[in-house]
Every structure is written in structure tokens, then in C-alpha cells.
Structure 1
Amino acid sequence: MDLVDETGKLTEEDTHLLTELLEFAASEEKVAEGAELSVTIVTNDQIQEINREYRGKDQPTDVISFALEEMGEGEVAIQGEDLPITLGDIIISVEKAQEQAEEYGHSFQRELGFLAVHGFLHLLGYDHMTEEEEKVMFTKQKELLEKYGLHRSI
């Protein structure tokens, strides 16, 4: 996993948490060994620019995921036994994580972990476009975070 903090605001403890949590989630979800993933920590301004460009929404958001294993229209799959699985990119706004942690009354690390797992599950194909999908995805998020030991009260 590649983790880039473009803001310089994460502590070593935050970075360790994200790495360990996402490795735990990958293990729990039975993701193939060696799968690649990148996590980038950005500001509200940076994520707003990405949100505007890729989603047509001109506002900051908390997390955006770009799954790389999904085939777009007209794309051709590259086949090869030795190629690692590339799950995609997770982009998290550190400022939104701080705001939401305060709003929800839990720690910054809990919110950071929640956003990372949320983005990770999107990379695995989970979604929340319908009530049923939302129930499945949010239940999975909660289970992963609690099993890891990152509870809302922390």
C-alpha cells in the first residue's frame, strides 16, 4: 500500500493505523496477497477540485475512491499471471475527517479509519446507491471497524 500525506498533518500513529487497518480489512475480505492500493491525504481544496473534475460536484467531500480493476467502456483487459491486482486509489480530506470527528463526537483516528474502510469497500465493489446496498455496505464497515477495535466511542 502506498500512503501519501500531502498535508503533512498525519502523525506516525495515524499513518500506522491506516496501514494496519487496511491490511486487516484486506485480509478479512480475502483480497489477494500483493494487491496494490494507494491512499492520499489531501486538503478540502484539493478534494473539492477532484470532486468537481470527476464527479461534477463543486464542493469538498470526505472521501473519494477510484477503482482501477473496473473495466470502462471500450477498455481492453491486460492479461498476465504475474501482474499484481491494482485495487485503486482512496483520497481522504484530512480537514473533513477532523470536522466530522468533532461533529460525531469521536476521535480523529476513528473518523480517519471509517473513511479509509469506506473508500476501501468501494474499491471492492460495495456501494450505497440503494437502501439494500447501503445496508450491506454500512454493516460491513461497522463489522470491520469493530473487529479491528476502532469503535465509535474512541
Structure 2
Amino acid sequence: MDLTIYDEHHLIDEQHLELARKLFAYGAQKINLPENTEASITFCSVERIHEINRQYRQTDRPTDVISFALEDGDDDGISTLELEQEFGVPRNIGDLFICPEVVQNHAQEYGHSFEREFGYTVVHGLLHLSGYDHIQPEDAKKMFALQEEILDNFGLER
């Protein structure tokens, strides 16, 4: 897994950056993504994620994570999966934006440790980038079960 992490404002310490790297790679392995799959995570402020949420999701509030999946079926062009298969180009599944401050607020609200909520956010985003969603009840059941399995097996149990 080729994960690029951006944290220009040093919102996350090195321990949590490493947790994000390891958990993302672990989750990617569990859902059988090819080793050369690419993605990125950007850690951003409450103001920045609020702006992104308003602009791209038409929701006027901050959130914990926003995913921009490159293979979500919204584009009519060639997929990165097709490029990988035909030309050996690494598959890029997309980009996550995570707000550590909102993650911390959710951890307190739900009675979780920051690590558990942080892990939940990383895995939730990974699954969205990989084509999972929770719009339909049967899809939600599948996605949330897989999310819990990854977190529990990684050692971030509730």
C-alpha cells in the first residue's frame, strides 16, 4: 500500500501518523487491495473540513472524515483499475480528509479512546475509497461488520 499522508499544520503526532499508516495497510490487506494501490490522507483543521464539506457535500458543518473515491462510478472515463490492468499503472483509490479535532470530539461523545475513534475514522474512509457504502441497510450491515472486524483484529476493540 502506497499511502501518502499530509499534515502541514502538525495536527497529529508521529505515533498517530504511524497508527494511520499501519491501520490503512492492514485494512487494505484484509480487503485484498493490490500492494501497489495508492491513496492519500490529509489531516486538516475544523475550518478546512467544514469548507470541504460545504463545497463538495453541500453540508454546512464540520465532519470527521470526507472521502473522495476515484472509482465511485461517478465518472464516465477510464478507471484507474483499467489503467492498472492494461499498462501496469498503480491503482489510486482516492483521497481522505480527516479532522483530528472532530475525531477527538466524537471519541469523547461516544466514550471511546482517541485511538479507537481515530482508527474507526481511518478504516471507515478506507472502505469508502474501496467502494463500500452504507446508504442501503444491507450495504451498511456489510460495511460496518467489516469495519469492526478490521478494528478488532488490529487490536482497537471497543
Distance 1:7 1:76 in 2: 35
Name the structure 2 match of 1:98.
104
Name the structure 2 match of 1:35.
37
Contact 2:4 2:41 in 1 (8 A): yes
Name the structure 2 match of 1:8.
10
Deviation at 1:58, TM superposition (A): 1.2
SS class of match (1:9): coil
1:113 to 119, 122, 141: 119
Gaps of 5+ in 2: none
Q: Report the residue type matching 2:9 in the other structure.
A: T
1:143 pairs with 2:145: no
Deviation at 1:72, TM superposition (A): 3.2
Contact 1:69 1:85 in 2 (8 A): no
Name the structure 2 match of 1:17.
19
- Runs of 4+, deviation exceeding 6 Å: none
SS class of match (1:90): strand
Report the TM-score when normalising by structure 2.
0.90
Distance 1:12 1:73 in 2: 36
Distance 1:9 1:65 in 2: 19
CA deviations over 1:19-44 (Å, ceiling 9, x no partner):
00010001111101110010011111
Distance 2:107 2:101 in 1: 10
SS class of match (1:106): coil
SS class of match (2:87): coil
The verdict on how the C-alpha distance between 1:117 and 1:45 changes in structure 2, with shifts beyond 3 A counting, is same
Gaps of 5+ in 1: none
Distance 2:102 2:89 in 1: 35
CA deviations over 1:26-78 (Å, ceiling 9, x no partner):
11111011100100111111011111111111111111101113343442447
Contact 2:11 2:44 in 1 (8 A): no
What is the aligned residue count? Answer: 152
Name the structure 2 match of 1:85.
91
Report the TM-score when normalising by structure 1.
0.92
Distance 2:153 2:128 in 1: 19
SS class of match (1:87): strand
